[in-house]
Amino acid sequence: MSAVRVSVCMATYNGAQYLAEQVDSILSQLTDDDELVVVDDGSTDATVAMLEALEDPRVSVRRTARNLGYVGAFGEAMAAARGEYLVLSDQDDVWPAGRVEVLVAALSEAEVAVGNVVDLEHRRPLPSPVRRTPWQLSSSTSRQHRRNLLRIWAGVIPYFGSAMALRRSALERVLPLPSYLGESHDLWIATVANVDGSIRHLDDVVVWRRLHETNASSSRPRSVGPVLRARLMLLRLAVEARRRRSRPQQMRER
């Protein structure tokens, strides 16, 4: 392996409007031994040009051969990362100071770490889609792995990919992403981590989320059909996570 310590993995698509502020907040927290891996999924705006204009050796930009969607682009970014610690990032948020080190420190105790998200404008927690109360993780629930899996299925736990980090060792079970995973790569990672019994919830806020009409994940309630399809997919993910956990080590290394 290379000497890269932290790999920030970002998927971009027509993100030029907000990208500069996010990249600035990321690079200010990286050392010369870290990297920002960007997979662009067919942008038609200035996204790629902005990234290439940085001329920063820590930044690498890859373009997908065809449109994969944000889940597929994140999968490619994680596969290309060289670091021991992978920190996921959206293209349009802002990182509070200290985010990287808080997440990396948490990974000394678990293979996946996830913190809290507040909105960028007001710095308030996002509302729960179920009870409209503040939606936050608590460190006290980190070891409630079975309950966390039920919370994932019920849609009541705030596992945001933009607030996640994972150790390289977790990739052998996270990748390749299941072929039917068309959304919620973050819930897949959290499912794997809870099945493995190795996830750490942080009380810390690690993302200032920019809310706008083109967010990849919407906070608007969905109709019954999409909700039922999502619940079925989450059950399939839990079964797949258990299968990957139980397969022999030599099979995982192929």
DSSP string, 162-191: GGEEEEGGGHHHH-SPPTT--S-HHHHHHH
> What tokens does 137 get?
């993780």
Q: Which residues of the chain have pLDDT under 70?
A: 1-2, 213-223, 248-254
Return the pLDDT at 217: 54
Return the pLDDT at 134: 87
pLDDT tens-digit readout, 198-212:
999 999 999 999 997
pLDDT tens-digit readout, 130-139:
777 889 999 9
Q: Percent of the chain, pLDDT > 70?
A: 92
> Is the peptide bond preceding residue 176 cis, with omega within 30 degrees of 0?
yes
The rounded mean pLDDT for the chain is 92
Return the pLDDT at 215: 56
Q: List C-alpha distances in Å: 178 to 49, 56, 241, 253.
A: 31, 33, 10, 17
Please tell me the distance from the alpha carbon of residue 208 to that of residue 218, in angstroms, as a whole number. 16
Q: Which of 206, 152, 176 is nearest to 79 (CA)?
A: 176
